[in-house]
Amino acid sequence: MLASWHDPAMTDLAPPRRLRHLAALAAIACLAALASARAQTPDLDACGRSADNAARIKACSTIIATAGNPPAMVAWAYANRCQAQENARSFDAAIADCSEALRIDPGTAGVYNLRGFAYYAKGDADRALADYDAALRLKPDDAYAHAARGHIYLAKSDYAQAIQEFNAAIAARPGDAWSLASRGYAYSLAGDNDHAVQDLEAAVKLDPKAYLSRLRLAEALAVAGSGDQALAADQETLRLFPSQAEAIRRERCLHEMILGKNGPALADCNRALQAQPKDAVALAYRGHVHLRAGQADAAIADYTAALALKPKDATSLYGRGAAHAAKAEMDSANQDMAAARAINPTIDAAMTRLKLGQPAANPAATAEGTAVAPAPDAATGGGGGATAAGAAAGATAGNGGATAGLDDKTICSGRKQSPLPDEIAACTRMLQASAAPADQAWAYARRATAYTDQRDFDHAIQDYTAAIQLQPDLAYAYSGRGLALYYKGNLEDAIADQDYAIKLVPTFSGAYGARGYAHLKAGNAAAAHDDFDAALKSRPGQAIWLFGRGTAAAGLGQQDAAQADLAAAHKLDPTVENTVQDLFDYKPPS
C-alpha cells in the first residue's frame, strides 16, 4: 500500500533505492583486501549484488563465517547483509549487522547511513540523526545523509531545518529529484507555496516517473488555491500510472477536500477504501471530507476507525476533536485536541493548511487545549474579516446560519456559525432550563462571546461575570471578560483579568496575546514583548502574536527583531494589519 505524503513512513520509500549504491561504498573501502583474497567465490558476487535477498543474506553469511577472510572483507559482508536485511524490513537484524561492520571498520560513511535508515524505520529518530551525523563527519558532502536528516526534521515539523538539510543535499548532488521534491514539500508545509510549486515542478521534470512527486505537486497547488491545476495534475498522474489508481485517488480525495469539492472527494476516498478497507490514511481523509461537509457523526466514525489502526495519529485526533466540538461535546473535544497537540505541537497550523482549522470562538479567551476556543490563527489565517469573539473560516465553513433542526447547545456553541441573535437565544433557553451549574457557566460564557461579537460589551461583561461566579476556575471566562473590558478602554481591569486567566492556565496563549495588545495600547512595549513571546512559546507560528511582538520590538528600538517578526507575520497572513485591527482594535503608531 502506498504510504501517505502525510505519513512519516513516506520517507521510507525513497532511501532503499539508494542503499544499493551505499553498500557499494563499503565495497570500495575493501577492494584492496578483496584483490588479495585467494578465495574468490560466487558468494562474493551474490553478497554484493544479488537481487534475491535470501540468496544475498546466505552468501554474505558464508563469507562472514569463513575463517581466514580479511577483516575488511568481513566488514563488507556485514554491511551488505545489513542492507539486505533492510530491504527485507528486518531492521533489528540490519542494525546488528551494520554495528558489527562498524566495529570492524568504523570509517565508512555509507554504513552509518545504512544503520541510520534502519533506526529511523524503527522510529528511533535520535539514533538515526546520530548515525547521519557520523556519516557527515566522515564525508561532509554526503547528499544522502543530508537528505535523510531533512526527512527526520520534516517528520518533527521543523521545516526550516529540513529545508536547510535539503539545500545541502542539493548542493552536494545538483539536480537530485528526490531532494528537490522533499524540499518542495517542506516549503509547502511551511506555507511558502511559490517555492514549493517551483521545486516540485522541477522534480517532476527531472524524474517524470516519480508519481509521488506529482502527487505532492498537486497537493501544493491545492493548498495554494490553484484548483484547476491541482486536479489536472492528479488526472495526468492517474493517466500515466494506472496501476497506482487507488493510491492516486486517495490522495486526490485529500486535494479535492482542500478545494472544498466534498462530493468528488467522498467518491475518491470511498473507492480507495473499497480497495484497502484498513487504510488509516484514507479513513482520516474521508473523516476530513465529512468534517468539511458538517457531518460530524460520520467524521467521528472515520477518525475513530483510523485511530484504531494508528492510535497516535495527531491528524485524526485533531479532526475527531473538531467534530466533537461541532457537536458541542466539549469534554471529548478537549481530550482529543490535547492529545493531538501533545503528539504534534504544530498540528493547528498543519490542519489550517488543509483548510481544517478548528472553528473559532474567542481568539483571546482560549485556554490551551480547550476546544471551545481554538488557536487564534485557525480563525484568522486567511486575512481580515474575523471579529474578536470569532466568526471565521473553520472545519464547518459553508454551513453557517442554518439553525433549523439543531439543538440549543449546538447553536449556542457557535460551531454552526448561526446568526448571532440565534446563538444568544439558544444560550438563553439553556439558562432558562435550569441546567447544572457547569452547563450554566458554559452557556453564560458562550452567550458572552456572542455579545462580544455584537460589540455589546456591557452584556458580555455581565455574562462572563455570571459564568465566573458559577465556575471560579473558568479561565476562558476571565480572558473573555478581559477582552470585553479591553474593547471598552478599561486596560487596567482588562490586564488584571488576563493575569488571572494565566494564573489558572499558565500556557494560555490567547490570554498572553490579549494582554500583550493591552500593554501595547497602554504604552508598555517591554511587557507586551514578554507577553507575545510567551504566547508564541505556547502556540508557535501565530501571525497575530508575531505581529504584536514585532510591533513591541520596534517600540523597544530592536529593529532587526521587529523586521524579522513582522516579515514572518506577513508571510503567514499578508493582511495581518487588518486582522489585528479587526480583532483587537489596534493599529501600530505610524
Instruction: Using the predicted structure, report yes or no on whether residue 363 has a pLDDT greater than 60.
Output: no
> Residue 109 carries which side chain, given as an amino acid letter?
A
Q: Which of 214, 19, 174 is nearest to 112 (CA)?
A: 19
Say if 330 falls within a structural domain.
no
Q: If pLDDT is split at 50, 70 and 90, which confidence band does 125 have? A: very high
User: Does pLDDT of 417 surpass 70?
Assistant: yes
* pLDDT confidence bin for 2, thresholds 50/70/90: very low
Residue 25 has pLDDT above 80, yes or no: no
Quick check: is 502 in a domain? yes
Read off the pLDDT of residues 433-458 as tens digits, 9 standing for 90 and up.
756 777 888 889 999 999 988 889 99
Confidence of residue 213 (pLDDT cuts 50, 70, 90): very high
What gap in Å lies between CA 246 and CA 50, rounded to an integer? 32
pLDDT higher than 60, residue 24: no
The answer to whether 191 and 353 have CB atoms below 8 angstroms apart is yes
Instruction: Say yes or no to pLDDT of 360 above 60.
Output: no
What is the CB-side half-sphere exposure of residue 435 using CA atoms within 13 A? Answer: 18
- pLDDT category of residue 401 using cuts at 50, 70 and 90: very low
287 found inside a domain = no
Residue 395: pLDDT above 90? no
Give the range of the structural domain holding residue 568, as residue numbers without chain letter. 359-584
Indicate the number of domains in the chain: 1
C-alpha cell at 312: 497516535
CA distance 356 to 365: 21
Cell of 335: 481530550
pTM metric for this prediction: 0.58
Q: Which residue has 485511530 as its cell numbers?
A: 307
pLDDT number for residue 284: 97
Cα 81 to its chain centre, rounded Å, is 36
pLDDT of 241 above 90:
yes
> Is residue 514 situated within a structural domain?
yes
The three grid cell numbers given for residue 406, joined into one nine-digit string = 439543531
**Alpha helical stretches, state H, 471-504:** 475-487, 491-504
pLDDT at residue 187 greater than cutoff 80: yes
Rounded mean pLDDT, 21-38:
39
Give residue-wise pLDDT tens across range 466-512: 888 888 888 889 999 999 999 999 999 999 999 999 998 888 889 99
Q: Which residues contact 239 (CB under 8 A, 6 or more apart)?
A: none
Q: How many CB atoms lie within 10 A of CB 5?
A: 18
User: 1 in helix, strand or coil?
Assistant: coil
CATH code where residue 391 lies? 1.25.40.10
Average confidence score pLDDT of the chain = 82
Residue 103 lies in a domain: no
3-state helix, strand, coil in the chain (%, to 5): 70, 0, 30
Could you read off the pLDDT of 37-46 as tens digits, one per residue?
A: 434 467 888 8
Query: Is residue 331 in some structural domain?
Result: no
Q: How far is the CA of 66 from the CAs of 52, 60, 81, 83, 498, in angstroms?
A: 21, 10, 15, 20, 74
Of the candidates 556, 547, 549, 550, the residue with the CA atom closest to the CA atom of residue 532: 549
Predicted confidence (pLDDT) per residue in 62-105, tens digit: 999 999 899 999 999 999 999 999 999 999 999 999 999 999 99
CA distance 450 to 445: 9
Q: Is the pLDDT of residue 372 over 50?
A: no
Q: Work out the average pLDDT over 163-173.
A: 95
Q: Angle at CA 22, nearest 5°, toward 20 and 28?
A: 110
Please give the share of the chain, as a percent, with pLDDT higher than 70: 84
d(C-alpha 134, C-alpha 131), whole Å? 5
Kindly report, residue by residue over 269-327, the tens digit of the pLDDT: 999 999 999 999 999 999 999 988 888 899 999 999 999 999 999 999 999 998 888 78
Res 325: pLDDT:
83
What digits encode the pLDDT tens for the residues 316-359? Answer: 999 999 888 878 788 888 899 899 999 988 888 888 888 886 44
As given in the structure block, the three cell numbers for residue 331 are 469534554
Binning pLDDT at 50, 70 and 90, where does residue 168 land?
very high
| In a domain? residue 364 | yes
Residue 396 has pLDDT above 60, yes or no: no
- Does the residue 193 lie in any domain? no
Q: What pLDDT is stored for residue 167 in this prediction?
A: 96
